[in-house]
A and B are shown apart, each in its own frame.
Chain A
Amino acid sequence: MLQKNLLEVRDLRVYFYSDEKRELKAVDGVSFSVGKGETLALVGESGCGKSVTSMAILRLVDSKGKITGGEVIFDGQNLLLLPESRMREIRGKDIAMIFQEPASALNPVYTIGEQILEAIMLHQKLSPSRAKEVALEMLRLVGIPEPEKRLNEYPHELSGGMKQRAMIAMALSCRPQLLIADEPTTSLDVTIQAQILELIRELQKKLGMALILITHDLGIVADMAERVVVMYAGKVVEEGNRFEIFKNPFHPYTVGLLRSIPRLDVERKKLDTIPGVVPEPSSFPVGCRFRGRCNFETGECVQEPPRTSLSNTHAVYCHHWEKVRDSNAEVLKECRAQ
């Protein structure tokens, strides 16, 4: 990559402390980077730490959790070392975030206009009338009809799709360099989801911002992301560009996920399954955390799996990635033979 990375997360650790003072390692040594204007997807099932990771980037981990280690380098500075006042300037201005539930992320007692204006006036130090112009322009940009009217409406007067558009307008009003979208379309219907994804893609092109897309939907990942980081139980298990992840996955978990989803484009008689359930943070296995659910498991797996770099972009954290590769080839051969 020619461009310098916009964001670099290095060995990030976020631990939560339950009432019995037990340490829950929700995010445990996560590293990845995002280039300028690039789209990176963080994928995984619930509890894998993808949302906590994104909150930690903005230092918004809730009071029971603590960022216990690592670095978050944004634009050359470590966000974890900045004073809170400086952090406030960055949040919403340089790094913005949109959430899954637009209904709960918007304040119900303020109008859409007031909420957008707040961010604009705070960060851009504009006069109220100029800020209003910017807000109207943003609402138009995200395709909200009759923006003048909407500005004076409350969140409950808008549909789910419109609320998400309003939230995107708010997030982008200060032209951030990085947008973090945490399951932005999960609560929306599929035709509305298509509208919102298209909108995000268009705006990203127009404004040249980088995007971290957090999702559990591998369809959206294949559609939107250039690079993918797969997380499981608080750790990265595999990363690569989207072709590497979807065509040549080398971690048993990535392979399992891809084979277990019902798909519109291929016929699957029976879905493959990953046995068992995602472990609770209090009972993550020692060594490789996918232990107990993995078909490739051996005694070696009680050791922390090393990072194996397979290309500039592709890396896997598994003792047995070569066996996984051979087994993939076998499956493909069998399938073709039929």
Chain B
Amino acid sequence: MSSAVILKVENLKKYFPIRAGVFRKVIAWVKAVDGVSFEVLGGESLGIVGESGCGKSTLGMTILRLYEPTEGKIFFNGQEISGLPFARLRPIRKDMQMIFQDPFSSLNPRMSIGAIIEEGMAVHGMYSPRERSSKVQEILERVGLSGNYARRYPHEFSGGQRQRIGIARAIALCPRLIIADEAVSSLDVSIRSQILNLMSELKEEYNLTYLFISHDLAVVKQICDRVLVMYLGKIVEIAGKKDLFSRPLHPYTVALVSAVPVPDPDYKVDRIILKGDVPSPINPPSGCRFHPRCPVVQDICREVEPSLREIQEGRWVACHFPGSLGLKRTKEVGVEC
């Protein structure tokens, strides 16, 4: 594993305007991503978890500059890409690919599978046309599909097969970084494990770096080395997966981990049931954004926003009282059997 920083995000913000009235005047801002900083090392896979509306997908899209950042900087391979004009961004995009959640809407129904996979290579002027078509065969076979599927169309494939096609399209350009947004969420259990294994294998083979965005903690635990937890546009905790799942420090992470049902009838956990819903990102709560739902809230939390600080090596948490809420369960994370 190379340990150079491949992606660095500094104080990234993405606000969406809400417009109203005849003149479409901006009346408010949705602060989808609100001041996020982190680094991703080459060859690692970083999970980004959080509930709907926490800004995890917006973060992924903004890093690829599919959304223009409102503020902040993005460095890829040491080069700042946040201000780059599109013409100069294009060659860099070859190294950053995305896998989408919905394998039904992310493949153009009027293009053959071969054309879908080849398009990126053609755009970036990779290989000669003949080489490209043999490359397509090779990649299709690598992701577990038959090479002569290249002439078929997306509607002929099942969800799991389409997700394999989406993966094939992403790896066709030999990228360094892959952002996978809920890549296995729409798949059935038995298919999901096939795709997760495939992604792990490809990571080793092509020395890929993953930014794996998901709401499913068990999936993230399976595929990621480190995990970043978001709540209402902010990072609340970053930790190695072992630390995060065995001893989460932020009360929100504790609640998340405790809420995941575990397929073992002997497993008992003191489930922390959070009250209410996630507040609106238009008018986030004062102080710590989690304070209205936090079981261990104190006065200071309502007023002062906690900053994300490193409290142990590699463990970052944005909480005034990290570790004050414990996770009680009958079984510690261990090996099977």
Chain A residues within CB distance 8 Å of chain B: 45-46, 159, 161-162, 189-195, 197-198, 216-223, 242-243, 246-247, 256-258, 260-268, 270-274, 277-278, 331-332, 335-336
B264 touches A190 (CB 8 A): no
CB distance from B227 to the nearest CB of A (A): 12
Q: Which residues of A contact B131 (CB under 8 A)?
A: none
Stretch at the interface among B232-240, B266-274, B301-309: B266-274
A-B contact number at CB 8 A: 136
B222 touches A45 (CB 8 A): no
| Min C-beta distance of A124 to chain B, whole Å | 31
- A219-B260 contact in complex given A242-B265, A264-B221, C-beta closer than 8 Å: yes
B263 within 8 A of A: yes
Contact B193 A267 (CB under 8 A): no
Which residues 55-97 of B sit at the A interface, judged by CB distance below 8 A?
Answer: none
Main SS of chain A's interface residues? helix
Chain B residues in contact with chain A, CB under 8 A?
A: 51-52, 158, 160-161, 188-194, 196-197, 200, 215, 217-219, 221-223, 245, 255-265, 267, 271, 273-274, 277-278, 331, 333-337
B residues within 8 A CB of A265?
262, 264, 267, 331, 333-334
Q: Which residue of B lies closest to A245 (CB)?
A: B265
CA distance A198 to B221 in the complex (A): 25
List 28 contacting pairs A-B, 8 Å CB cutoff, sorted by A.
A159-B277, A162-B277, A189-B52, A189-B215, A190-B215, A194-B273, A198-B271, A216-B189, A217-B261, A221-B263, A223-B262, A260-B189, A260-B190, A260-B193, A261-B218, A262-B218, A262-B219, A263-B262, A264-B262, A265-B267, A265-B334, A271-B196, A271-B197, A273-B197, A274-B190, A277-B158, A332-B337, A335-B335
Shortest B307–chain A CB gap in Å is 24
Known: A191-B274, A273-B190. A223 touches B335 (CB 8 A): no
Residues in chain B near residue A273, CB distance under 8 A: 190, 193-194, 197
CA of A265 to CA of B286, assembled, Å: 35
Contact A246 B189 (CB under 8 A): no
List the B side residues contacting A195 at CB < 8 Å. Answer: 273-274
Of listed A198, A261, A278, residue having the most chain B CB within 10 A: A261
Residues of B within 8 A of A243 (CB): 265
Q: Which residues of B sit under 8 angstroms from A242, Cβ to Cβ?
A: 265
